Chain A
């Protein structure tokens, strides 16, 4: 009968043993391919996961960076206010020291005057 063949082990085959072998081979190869695709899929998934995580991290870092930038900006403003505060304090202090300098000067002048009186008295004595 055409189409029915026996192999070496005397098993009945509808297909030509050669084709059967080929088919088996194909099946195996298909299985391998499937594995490969699955593993590829996994790798890609991993990759996407990693990329997403990276994205999140980047986003986080970005926010952080914006925050820091704002902070730095405000810091410089803070510094300005602090500077102006200190500046006004310096002005107050310098006014105070100027007052004291004038007072000191007047006392020195008095000292000179008194010394003059003393000298004059010593001359007379």
Chain B
């Protein structure tokens, strides 16, 4: 599902080159839930962005469902992300002026399908947000926001879910609920790559890898 081969990424900070990923490789197969842990600045988020087709590595290759998104044009890569990859972030990043339903439906602006609306309703129901469907993000609890973000990530039935500290802003209970949904996604055949500081969250994964500073 996700195959990362020998990727490297170097940033220039204050005129100095800082390598954050140096020949990193990993594979996440269908049905697998993998967690990545490591110190701050070790390149966890860079890994996630590179895996999601958002940050081209300096070298190495990334394959999602057998395709290298960086081989595609910018427009095609955006469409590829819409159909193959779901993102969940620590800060949820919901669109503040869209209610729960519209936030969940927002990926359909990039890739519309006739069943987008029923699919969104199903996800909202599934994630226990039915009574919040018309609420704006500012009116939701943090757990509800993250569930909304998770529903949004899954609208277009992606094969790969990339989560960056998904429980970082949640209480234990809400965090557990979100992790259970992610496990559920993996159990249905999806691949999950989660970056986290939280050992409890990592403990829910099938496999945990520790990322050291390059």
Partners in one complex: no
